[in-house]
Structure 1
Amino acid sequence: MTSAKASEAAPGPTALPIIDVSLLDAPAPDSRARLARQLDRACQDSGFFYVTGHGIPTELIDAVFRQSRALFALPDFAPVMMRYFDAMNRLSARIMTALALALGLPSDHFRAFCEQPLSTLRLLHYPPQPAHASPGEKGCGAHTDFGGITVLLLDEHPGLQIWDHRHRRWLQADPVPGTFVVNLGDMIARWTNDRYRSTLHRVVNLSGAERYSVPFFYSGNPDHEVRCLPNCLTAGEQPRYPATTVERHLIEMYRKTYA
């Protein structure tokens, strides 16, 4: 696991691309092709990107943050969270459609994967860093996600940092209003023979304020087969991972992590 001090994260605006998934519905035939090219580039580079044009109402996003903050003081927020959970399942399935296009596959390639998916919604609270924090103290240590994709809702406070494998440094992924941050999990890297990246990331809350985020982990149908995609192999190349299922992959990852 790679680590670095928080002060080593690159400052300033994010280097992550912003992907407009509304292009999936655009009438112009080249719109989907443009989306596929942008997404393919982002997935091969860092495996992280912002999603705009997602159709999730600002009212719902604002309500999610209100309820998330209220969770740490008051009970009873289930109706809002269930609405949001359903909205995130729908958005995740659309992102999988976009990923299929980025990989040069039919748009419905991952349809069965998206049926009865394993999904987890979490509400996270990060207190401010202590005034005299020890070097490298973090809100969440460096890790990759196990499953398919993660759709992350950020509040207004920065803290997410992404490992730049090319320049070996931490990049700050500051909040961009109206977007979700999406990152690929280990299962997508396995599926694509590491063509698409599952990238180390961490949280260091240096904002001086209480920070909230809402990750949605989308792992797909537990019985779905995960086998190296043929178009992710170059001539003469062999799959780096044996075929498995979503469920077996997750069990394997948990065993490696917690054994």
Structure 2
Amino acid sequence: MSTTDQHPTTLRLASGNGPITRSILPHPPRDALPSELPIISLAPLFSSSSSLASRMEVAQQIRQAATTNGFFYIKDHDVPSSIIQEAETAAFTFFRSPTSLKEKASMHNSLYKYGWKPPRTQRLNPFESVDHRESFSWRYDPRYDPSVNDLAEIPEEVMRFIKHDADDYPWSAVPLEFKGPVIGYFQAVLGLGRVLQRAFALRQKMGDETRVSIGSHTDFQLFTILGQDQVGGLQVLSRSGQWLNAKPIPGTFVVNFGDYMQRITNDKYVSTVHRVQNYSGRERLSMAFFFGFNLNETCEVLDSCVDVEKGEEKKYEAVSCWEWTQRRVRMMHDVKGGGS
């Protein structure tokens, strides 16, 4: 990143198509205004008595957020606070455990890099420092999906992309006190993600900055539902190039759109650059749920997002969802280049 006190700087980022850039205004981060990162109530989406008009109003608010900064808060999301709190407590207990315990679930024991990742083993932006964080990650597993009654009913072309290690690893290597609450959280947010997906479809049918906790990046897939604690540190890059503090708001999740959503909407929805800067001196916990297409699918621009009468054309070619995510994952785990 170049530096100057008078002119915008250039931020370099990784993408599935190679490096991209964003222009950054020469101003310190500031707190986001409500108009920039709105709070949207999802209550009509969970009420059987709500009218189509009220659900469409929620979808319209989401679309407005999607076409501006691409980030927003959601409340009245139907995920009990007890499930969130239990998952947070279990996560803190796990991460504060001795390294010898966490290493039993290390990504190095996984064919697919699932499980615990120690500090300085990930770099979301190859042009910035290695990320100063540790994490625990896994991929969708239909065995833990409450909507799946029979695994045999899942088509073979879908199942062959659902990759997992033997013996239910990494879950088999962590305490039940961690697995239970975290799986419970996953199941609740999976249901929320499916409700949000229907809302998006409903609206579409109508029409020290050298050291980072998590480097500047866009997300890979359709959208992300983020649960963050009260420490804060999440920053969102506005379209004008201003870093905005997405301060924690009790009772909400933060939602943002990813690369797939930007591609299929022909840039109408924004895959927004964001990062984490935690200088509080306190531990920070975030629980990110990434919602995307099945990996056997192909991501391509929707015809409904191209106004041919206005001379618009599709900006993106179709891309394999499997190949796109693999490109990004390979870059994320390359910690030898870039910053220090």
- The aligned residue for residue 23 of structure 1 is 44
- The aligned residue for residue 82 of structure 2 is 59
Q: What's the offset of the Cα at 1:153?
A: 0.4
The answer to whether structure 1 residue 223 and structure 2 residue 296 are counterparts is yes
Q: More displaced, 73-82 or 212-221?
A: 73-82
2:223 pairs with 149, 153, 156, which one? 149
1:81 pairs with 173, 182, 193, which one? 182
C-alpha distance in structure 2 between counterparts of 1:255 and 1:239, whole Å: 28
The answer to whether structure 1 residue 240 and structure 2 residue 261 are counterparts is no
Q: Deviations over 1:179-209 (max 9, x none)?
A: 1101111011111111100010000013332
- Equivalences, count: 231
Q: What's the offset of the Cα at 1:102?
A: 2.4
Identity %: 33
Aligned-partner residue type, residue 88 of structure 2: F
Q: Deviations over 1:152-187 (max 9, x none)?
A: 100011100000122x21000000111110111101
Task: Classify 1:3/1:45 alpha carbon distance in 2 versus 1 (closer, same or farther; 3 Å).
Answer: closer
Q: What's the offset of the Cα at 1:228?
A: 1.0
Q: Deviations over 1:49-105 (max 9, x none)?
A: 111111111111111111111012345211111111111211111111111122226
C-alpha distance in structure 1 between counterparts of 2:33 and 2:300, whole Å: 37
C-alpha distance in structure 2 between counterparts of 1:244 and 1:55, whole Å: 34
TM-score w.r.t. structure 1 length? 0.80
C-alpha distance in structure 1 between counterparts of 2:286 and 2:327, whole Å: 27
- Map 1:242-257 → 2, pairs under 5 A: 242-254=317-329
C-alpha distance in structure 2 between counterparts of 1:86 and 1:255, whole Å: 27
C-alpha distance in structure 2 between counterparts of 1:156 and 1:135, whole Å: 21
Task: Classify 1:13/1:209 alpha carbon distance in 2 versus 1 (closer, same or farther; 3 Å).
Answer: farther
C-alpha contact 1:160 1:174 (8 A) present in aligned 2: yes
C-alpha contact 2:30 2:244 (8 A) present in aligned 1: yes
2:30 pairs with 6, 10, 14, which one? 10
Task: Classify 1:195/1:12 alpha carbon distance in 2 versus 1 (closer, same or farther; 3 Å).
Answer: closer
SS in 1 for 2:31: coil
TM-score w.r.t. structure 2 length? 0.62
C-alpha contact 1:139 1:205 (8 A) present in aligned 2: yes
Task: Classify 1:224/1:64 alpha carbon distance in 2 versus 1 (closer, same or farther; 3 Å).
Answer: same
Q: What's the offset of the Cα at 1:227?
A: 2.1
1:43 pairs with 37, 61, 66, which one? 66
SS in 1 for 2:292: strand
Q: What's the offset of the Cα at 1:41?
A: 0.3
- The aligned residue for residue 103 of structure 1 is 204
C-alpha contact 1:149 1:217 (8 A) present in aligned 2: yes
SS in 1 for 2:196: helix
C-alpha distance in structure 2 between counterparts of 1:135 and 1:238, whole Å: 38
2:211 pairs with 137, 142, 145, which one? 137
- Map 1:110-259 → 2, pairs under 5 A: 134-166=208-240, 168-235=241-308, 236-254=311-329
Aligned-partner residue type, residue 20 of structure 1: S
Aligned-partner residue type, residue 19 of structure 1: I
Aligned-partner residue type, residue 322 of structure 2: E
SS in 2 for 1:211: coil
Task: Classify 1:5/1:189 alpha carbon distance in 2 versus 1 (closer, same or farther; 3 Å).
Answer: closer
Larger Rg: 2
| Cα RMSD (Å) | 2.5
C-alpha contact 1:58 1:178 (8 A) present in aligned 2: yes
Q: What's the offset of the Cα at 1:254?
A: 4.6
Structure 1 residue runs of 5 or longer lacking an equivalent are 107-133
C-alpha contact 1:149 1:182 (8 A) present in aligned 2: yes
Q: What's the offset of the Cα at 1:218?
A: 1.7
Q: What's the offset of the Cα at 1:245?
A: 3.7
Q: More displaced, 205-214 or 134-143?
A: 134-143
The answer to whether structure 1 residue 70 and structure 2 residue 101 are counterparts is no
